[in-house]
Amino acid sequence: MTNELINFIVIESGKTSPVSTFKGEYRDLMTLLKDKLFLDSFGECGGMGRCATCLVEIDSKENGFIFERNETVTLLKHNITEKNCRLSCQMQVDENLEGLYLKII
Ligand code: FES
CATH code matching the domain that covers 5-104, chosen among 3.40.50.2300, 3.40.50.300, 3.30.70.420, 3.10.20.30: 3.10.20.30
Instruction: List, for residues 47-103, the tens digit of each pLDDT value.
Output: 999 999 999 999 865 555 667 778 889 999 999 998 889 999 999 999 989 999 999
CA–CA separation, 59 vs 40, rounded Å?
23
Instruction: List, for residues 15-26, the tens digit of each pLDDT value.
Output: 999 999 999 899
Pocket test for ligand 1, best of 50, 75, 85 (most atoms within 8 A of CB): 50
Give ∠ CA 21-24-29 in degrees, rounded to 5.
Answer: 65
pLDDT > 90? residue 1: no
| Ligand 1 atom nearest to 54, measured from its CA | 4
| pTM for this entry | 0.88
Domain ranges, ordered by start, for the chain: 5-104
